[in-house]
């Protein structure tokens, strides 16, 4: 075991997968000599050289587009998009091609590739550097969307993403990169994609979160326990697509109440799909409407006002109390 | 600090070997074996005949919308004929002739345009990408394939097709830039057919040629008479050999013309003159190459009839395909079907089973022809 923050844990996953499989390579802006603007690819260039750790020209569409070509050839590229806010310049390559190649060619080709991108607020950054836009990828058939919540699961999920035969969009919460360290085993560890985790058990209410919002949900659960004597179950989704409906439904069948927390804007966000899935699976168990605590539906507000929009502990506690009192 | 001119030594050649009047520049004439010349002509004619047949099939509602190639046969065949089987072909959506050369069965092409994905599936050992529709987005894939070939130490070359309109797209420029920086074995073949649906080339770019765009990315570009198959072949051969020798990418601009509609949903009389079309019909690549072969006594008698029979057989095979099974839509969505999709599949299977027709009921009537479609005797073929 070593104690690592999320940046180092992700770096370990890349290092070990590249050592294990010569078909795995890394490409993106500043991922080589510089080691990535968040240092996730640090030292990989020194270890594996410029042919495997490619400092690409500054062009998101070609980073993903050439990775599609590499994947069609049989390589396993891991792209880094510097910030998820810039991924709209490669969204067409992801949606039109990476996600569809297996179906389009009826299995003759597929895209085993990962597109990593930092997302989310709380880092006092400019526009396009702190948005949460995971809903776009969750909506695209053919993709998988993974959002780890801490160093250990980030490392284990990145290993699985690299080994997964389908394109995986890998969202890394910037706010978590250096937030805390965790014990991470030195030998490779993988976590199944598509499986949520019960982060904390409880009987009275289910809080559902992922990425940086997991910590918010856990802290809200602690407030509810200490101040209200309420036992909140907290689910860490880890994968948004495919969604682990079973874990969600089983939890709400037990608690009868659910609050979904996410940083993406509310409308048509992951919370809507989660709420619908719970309704379909646990309708008769519900004691209250499922609530969403999400960013407000306005264009990016600037980090001076970000706190009012992005969910925090007090908002989650307030909504949870309304749900419990319904 | 004087202001000086940078001597970039940039130039673009235009290559023509067999001109519209049939005049041959014997010094530039490529040495192509007789068997290859015959196969090239044969595939061009097959492309033309299939194109004409497909327009009729579309008008009859037997296949969906497609993009005819008429007029562009030399640009396609001259280019792909320089590839080996282990090289890669990356098409856009108007490369039927190139696909025929690369071995795509006719019935499969028909199935593709009848909305069946199995028609777009390359054979297991075939190094062709499927038809790509969003303009220019296949070009980064070609560069990625070439990078991968180089990475693995294979000497495969990648040839990518696109049109004049594609040169306005960002993906074209990004792909060219990456190809230049990475110095990968790619041949970019631009079929400049003068029209991107209704927009003529002069509204597409202010550049004098499309070939010169390569120069900005640090590799050669050449413009060729795209209706002169010998010129297309010679330029492509040079580019493929350069790529094989590790000398990087090349852009070839084939100046040609789309004699037909953009797609079967298009009416070109709205945006271009009949006189212009007539003028290009006089430069028909088939006529020119046919005359060249005639002089070499390489024309095969009865070729049209033979190819028509081949097409007719393929149409029969295509029309005898069993109905598309809806449940197969789940098979290739993911490597392994995720749980939510397993549930959707189950739901569909139940829905289809409930809606299954009673096998004892009378044969349903064929659907009436769609509006504007001719009902011909072929309907019952």
The domains found in chain B, sorted by start residue, are 13-319 (3.40.50.970), 325-358 (no CATH)
Rounded to an integer, what distance in angstroms lies between the CA atom of residue A185 and that of residue B102?
51
The answer to whether B175 faces chain A, any CB pair under 8 Å, is: yes
Indicate the pTM of the whole model. Answer: 0.95
Of the candidates A68, A104, A164, the beta carbon closest to that of B140 is on A68
Please give the Cα distance from A295 to A102 (Å, whole number).
35
Query: Is residue A110 within 8 angstroms of chain B, CB to CB?
Result: yes
d(CA B348, CA B345): 5
CB distance B148–A97 less than 8 Å? no
Regarding beta strands A197-200 and A232-236, do their DSSP bridges make them parallel or antiparallel, or are they unpaired? antiparallel
Q: For residue A106, list chain B residues with Cβ-Cβ distance below 8 A.
A: 117-118, 120-121, 331-332
> pLDDT tens across A180-196, in order?
999 999 999 999 999 99
Sort out which chain B residues have CB atoms less than 8 A from A55's CB and list them. none
Assign 3-state DSSP to chain B and report helix, strand, coil percentages, each to 5. 45, 10, 45
Best of A65, A140, A169 to disrupt the B interface by mutation (most B CBs within 10 Å)?
Answer: A65
Q: Cα-atom radius of gyration of chain B, to the nearest Å?
A: 23
Is B129 close to A109, i.e. CB distance below 8 A? yes
**Considering only CA atoms, which of A298, A317, A314 is closest in space to residue A225?**
A317
Mutation site, A69, A105, A249, interface B, largest B CB count within 10 A: A69
**Of A88, A115, A85, the residue nearest A99 (C-alpha):** A115
CA distances from A195 to A199, A237, A247, A248 (A): 12, 7, 8, 10
Q: Provide the residue count of chain A.
A: 326
Does the ipTM exceed 0.90? yes
CB contact A99 to B (< 8 Å): no
- As a whole number of Å, the end-to-end CA separation of chain A is 46
Q: Nearest CA to A317 among A251, A254, A230, A196?
A: A230
Is B331 in the A-facing interface, judged by CB distances under 8 Å? yes
Partner-chain contact A65 B336, CB within 8 Å: no
CA-based nearest residue in chain A for residue B119: A105
What is the structure's pLDDT at A187? 96
**Do the Cβ atoms of A133 and A85 come closer than 8 Å?**
yes
Q: pLDDT class for A122, splitting at 50, 70, 90?
A: confident
Chain-chain contact of B134 with A59 (C-beta, under 8 angstroms):
no
- Cα separation, B163 vs B135, in Å, equals 8
Q: Which of residues 288-327 of B touch A (CB under 8 A)?
A: none
Domains of chain A in sequence order: 2-184 (3.40.50.970), 197-325 (3.40.50.920)
Q: Is B151–A142 a contact, with Cβ atoms under 8 angstroms apart?
A: no
* Closest chain B residue by Cα to residue A143: B334
Confidence of residue B64 (pLDDT cuts 50, 70, 90): very high
Tell me the chain A residues in contact with residue B334 when contact means C-beta distances shorter than 8 Å: 102, 142, 144, 165-166
Residue whose C-alpha is closest to residue A207's, from A219, A195, A190: A219
Of the candidates B117, B124, B174, the beta carbon closest to that of A104 is on B117
Q: CA geometry: angle at B130 spanning A110 and B241, to 5°?
A: 100
Percent of chain B at pLDDT exceeding 70: 94
Shortest alpha-carbon distance between residue A275 and chain B (Å)? 15
* pLDDT for residue B379 is more than 50: no
- List the beta bridge partners of residue A295: A265
Q: A267-323 pLDDT, tens per residue? A: 999 999 999 999 999 999 999 999 999 999 999 999 999 999 999 999 999 999 999
Give the SS3 label for residue A26. Answer: strand
- Each residue of B322-369: pLDDT tens digit? 999 999 999 999 999 999 999 999 999 999 999 887 666 666 666 655
Closest CA to A37 of A2, A86, A3, A75: A86
**Contact with chain A for residue B134, Cβ under 8 A:** yes
Structure tokens, B89 = 């072909």
- What would the pLDDT profile of A126-141 be if each residue is shown by its tens digit? 999 999 999 999 999 9
Of A51, A96, A244, the CB nearest to B151: A51
Query: Sign of the CA dihedral A47, A53, A58, A60?
Result: negative
- Does the structure show a pLDDT above 60 at A74? yes
Contact criterion met (CB < 8 Å) for B339 and A69: no
Alpha carbon distances (Å) from A217 to A232, A263, A314: 9, 12, 10
> Is some CB atom of chain B closer than 8 A to the CB atom of A66?
yes
Integer angstrom CA distances of residue B260 from A168, B111, B200: 42, 22, 15
Burial A302-313 (b: 16+ CB within 10 A, else e): ebeebeebbbbb
Contact yes or no for A73 and B145 at CB 8 A: yes
The two tokens of residue A275 are 């709420």
């Amino acid at each position: 075991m070593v104690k690592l923050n999320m940046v180092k844990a992700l770096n370990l996953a890349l290092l070990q997968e590249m050592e294990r499989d010569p078909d795995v390579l890394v490409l993106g802006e500043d991922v080589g000599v510089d080691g990535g603007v968040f240092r996730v690819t640090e030292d990989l260039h020194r270890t594996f050289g410029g042919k495997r750790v490619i400092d690409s020209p500054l062009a998101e569409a070609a980073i993903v587009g050439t990775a599609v070509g590499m994947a069609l050839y049989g390589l396993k590229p891991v792209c880094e998009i510097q910030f998820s806010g810039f991924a709209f310049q490669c969204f067409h390559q992801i949606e039109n091609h990476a996600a569809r190649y297996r179906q389009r060619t009826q299995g003759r080709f597929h895209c085993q590739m990962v597109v990593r991108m930092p997302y989310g607020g709380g880092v006092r950054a400019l526009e396009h550097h702190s948005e949460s836009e995971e809903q776009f990828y969750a909506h695209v058939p053919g993709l998988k969307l993974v959002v780890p919540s801490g160093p250990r699961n980030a490392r284990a999920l990145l290993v699985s993403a690299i080994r997964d035969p389908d394109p995986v969009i890998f969202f890394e919460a910037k706010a978590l990169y250096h937030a805390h360290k965790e014990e991470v085993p030195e030998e490779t560890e993988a976590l199944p994609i598509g499986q949520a985790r019960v982060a904390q058990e409880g009987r009275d209410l289910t809080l559902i979160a992922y990425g940086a919002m997991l910590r918010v949900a856990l802290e809200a659960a602690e407030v509810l326990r200490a101040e209200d004597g309420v036992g909140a179950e907290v689910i860490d989704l880890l994968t948004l697509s495919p969604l682990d409906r079973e874990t969600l439904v089983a939890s709400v069948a037990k608690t009868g109440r659910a609050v979904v927390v996410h940083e993406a804007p509310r409308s048509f966000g992951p919370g809507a799909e989660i709420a619908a899935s719970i309704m379909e699976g646990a309708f008769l168990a519900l004691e209250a409407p499922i609530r969403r605590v999400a960013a407000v539906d306005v264009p990016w507000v600037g980090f001076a006002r970000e706190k009012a929009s992005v969910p925090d502990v007090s908002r989650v506690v307030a909504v949870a109390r309304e749900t419990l009192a319904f | 600090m004087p202001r000086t001119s940078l001597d970039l030594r940039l130039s673009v050649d235009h290559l023509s070997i067999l001109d519209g009047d049939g005049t041959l520049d014997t010094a530039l004439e490529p040495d192509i074996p007789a068997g290859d010349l015959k196969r090239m002509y044969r595939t061009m004619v097959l492309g033309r005949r299939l194109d004409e047949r497909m327009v009729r099939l579309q008008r009859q509602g037997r296949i969906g919308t497609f993009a005819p190639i008429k007029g562009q046969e030399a640009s396609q065949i001259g280019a792909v004929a320089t590839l080996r089987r282990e090289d890669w072909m990356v098409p856009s959506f108007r490369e039927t002739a190139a696909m025929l050369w690369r071995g795509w069965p006719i019935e499969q092409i028909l199935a593709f345009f009848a909305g069946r994905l199995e028609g777009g599936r390359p054979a297991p050992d075939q190094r062709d990408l499927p038809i790509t529709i969003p303009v220019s987005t296949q070009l980064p894939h070609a560069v990625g394939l070439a990078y991968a070939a180089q990475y693995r130490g294979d000497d495969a070359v990648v040839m990518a097709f696109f049109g004049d309109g594609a040169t306005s797209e960002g993906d074209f420029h990004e792909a060219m830039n990456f190809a230049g920086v990475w110095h990968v074995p790619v041949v970019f073949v631009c079929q400049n057919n003068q029209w991107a649906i209704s927009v003529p080339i002069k509204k597409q770019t202010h550049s004098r040629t499309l070939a010169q765009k390569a120069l900005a990315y640090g590799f050669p570009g050449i413009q060729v008479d795209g209706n002169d198959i010998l010129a297309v072949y010679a330029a492509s051969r040079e580019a493929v050999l350069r790529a094989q020798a590790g000398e990087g990418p090349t852009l070839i601009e084939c100046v040609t013309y789309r004699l037909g509609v953009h797609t079967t949903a298009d009416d070109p009389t709205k945006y271009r003159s009949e006189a212009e079309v007539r003028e290009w019909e006089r430069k028909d690549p088939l006529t020119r190459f046919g005359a060249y072969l005639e002089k070499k006594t390489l024309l095969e008698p009865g070729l049209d009839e033979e190819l028509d029979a081949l097409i007719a057989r393929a149409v029969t095979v295509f029309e005898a395909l069993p109905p598309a099974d809806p449940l197969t839509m789940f098979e290739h969505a993911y490597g392994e079907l995720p749980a939510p999709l397993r549930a959707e599949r189950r739901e569909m299977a139940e829905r289809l089973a409930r809606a299954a027709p009673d096998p004892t009921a009378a044969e349903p009537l064929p659907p009436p022809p769609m509006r504007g479609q001719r009902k011909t005797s072929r309907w019952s073929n």
